[in-house]
Chains A and B, each alone.
Chain A
């Protein structure tokens, strides 16, 4: 049934396409789904991905950029020569597939443990941190005038938002309190220049091949703000998957990340990056607590969600390592 719907949609925008095969749902929550499928064409099969909110799920959460904005950002990134899938089609009402878009499927790996351990990525690992820096600089240099409408968020806003969410759980966490105090005391204020911020620049949203970074995905949390936020977030210990001495995704150093960023024309402020690393660590901790809340009150009564609640303590030890390191 999904293939028939996709076939009708593909026929409307892809001249010469003769059909759709292999439609498979890759992931799906209540409000958003990802499908993989192949477009059959006389010139060769084209791998495609559908990212959509099914019919009846129009409204996105307030922090989300929205699927139309995601498509626009992905296309802009692709057009700027940065690693990104090409957008093939933005869904309209006539498609009757809900809201969302269809993009070219980029082959590669997003699972961190494979990227950090498998032999096929051995040549990619040493160059990834620098590549990530270069690509982040490219993203941050995209002209604001071309961007879709996005929420604007400063460090001060983010701290308040984190505090509000943490307090809503009504469960005392002295380490989170310490982190909130630290963040308020070290708030760097608005940056000199407001830029596009990807908002979730880390393992899981980066397609890696044996040759290195192939695509940046998932613009759901994109916003306007401080470019250093993306560099801090990618250094959060939670994305190092055990390789804790390699701050960038468990594969590289801050120096490599920063060098790539500056080689591509960006300017790094290491103090701000550190601030956003602390904020990102707390944010992941608050998100873990949020998952546990949804496990308790929501429809998703799964063990996985419950167990993520027990990972908040990982961010507490990481916050202590950042804010109150012990004498070695």
Chain B
């Protein structure tokens, strides 16, 4: 068992340091790169926070949808394959809901400020 602080606490501390202490000191192209760096750390923090719960729910939905067991990537390969072959489609019970939920969970990590995501979050 690894000791504390947790990876989430560490990435958050580094991002906060860069945001609050270093950003005011940097200009030009490096300021742009610094912003990308901070965004990257923020993404990692969100993933560390949300990934476990999202993955578990996704795996449960996939197992139900496919009637099969396997790792998350295996189940996703299976689903991709079935969609490609036309064996499941938007008329298949639960598919649209599954794709929507999975995609919303991805956006929550990748780009929570993306306008389409915010709109769908509000519409729900």
Interface residues of A (CB under 8 A from B): 172-175, 177-178, 180-181, 237, 240, 242-244, 303-304, 306-307, 310-311, 313-314, 316-318, 320-321, 323-324, 326, 328
Nearest chain B CB to A37 CB, angstrom units: 20
- A317 and B117 form a contact (CB under 8 A): yes
- B115 and A242 form a contact (CB under 8 A): yes
Contacts of B103 in A (CB 8 A): 175, 313, 316-317, 320
**Beta-carbon contacts under 8 Å, B94-110 to A:** 96, 99-100, 102-104, 106-107, 110
Complex-state Cα separation, A244 to B106, whole angstroms: 20
Q: Contacting chain A: which of B8-16, B31-39, B48-56?
A: B31-39
**Which of A242, A304, A314 has the most chain B CB within a 10 Å cutoff?**
A314
- A181 and B84 form a contact (CB under 8 A): yes
B43 CB-CB contact with A under 8 Å = yes
Nearest chain A CB to B80 CB, angstrom units: 4
Nearest chain B CB to A54 CB, angstrom units: 21
Q: A181-B89, A324-B99 are in contact. Are A303 and B36 (CB under 8 A)?
A: yes
- A172 and B99 form a contact (CB under 8 A): no
- A310 and B104 form a contact (CB under 8 A): no
B111 CB-CB contact with A under 8 Å = yes
**Which of B103, B123, B124 has the most chain A CB within a 10 Å cutoff?**
B103
B116 CB-CB contact with A under 8 Å = yes
Complex-state Cα separation, A318 to B123, whole angstroms: 15
Interface flags for B71-84 (1: CB within 8 Å of A; 0: not) read 00100110110011
- A172 and B80 form a contact (CB under 8 A): yes
- B36 and A307 form a contact (CB under 8 A): yes
Contacts of B123 in A (CB 8 A): 326, 328
Nearest chain B CB to A238 CB, angstrom units: 10
Q: Is the interface of A mostly helix, strand, loop or mixed?
A: helix
Complex-state Cα separation, A213 to B40, whole angstroms: 35
Please list the 4 inter-chain residue pairs (A to B) with the smallest Cβ-Cβ separation, ordered nearest first. Answer: A172-B80, A177-B83, A172-B76, A313-B106
Q: A244-B115, A303-B37 are in contact. Are A174 and B83 (CB under 8 A)?
A: yes
Nearest chain A CB to B108 CB, angstrom units: 10
B21 CB-CB contact with A under 8 Å = no
Complex-state Cα separation, A323 to B99, whole angstroms: 11
- B114 and A314 form a contact (CB under 8 A): yes
Contacts of A175 in B (CB 8 A): 99, 103
Complex-state Cα separation, A324 to B1, whole angstroms: 44
B93 CB-CB contact with A under 8 Å = no
**Which of A174, A243, A326 has the most chain B CB within a 10 Å cutoff?**
A174
Contacts of A328 in B (CB 8 A): 123
- B83 and A317 form a contact (CB under 8 A): no
B86 CB-CB contact with A under 8 Å = yes
Q: A313-B110, A317-B103 are in contact. Are A173 and B89 (CB under 8 A)?
A: no
- A326 and B120 form a contact (CB under 8 A): yes
Complex-state Cα separation, A178 to B102, whole angstroms: 14
Q: Which of B43, B79, B114, B117 sits near A307, CB closer than 8 Å?
A: B43
- B117 and A180 form a contact (CB under 8 A): no
Contacts of A177 in B (CB 8 A): 80, 83-84
B22 CB-CB contact with A under 8 Å = no
- B37 and A317 form a contact (CB under 8 A): no
Complex-state Cα separation, A310 to B96, whole angstroms: 22
17 contacts between A and B (CB under 8 A): A172-B76, A172-B80, A174-B99, A175-B99, A178-B99, A242-B115, A244-B115, A304-B36, A310-B43, A310-B111, A313-B106, A314-B107, A314-B111, A317-B103, A317-B116, A318-B116, A324-B96
- A317 and B104 form a contact (CB under 8 A): yes
B26 CB-CB contact with A under 8 Å = no
Complex-state Cα separation, A314 to B114, whole angstroms: 7
Complex-state Cα separation, A267 to B119, whole angstroms: 33
Closest to B96 in A: A324
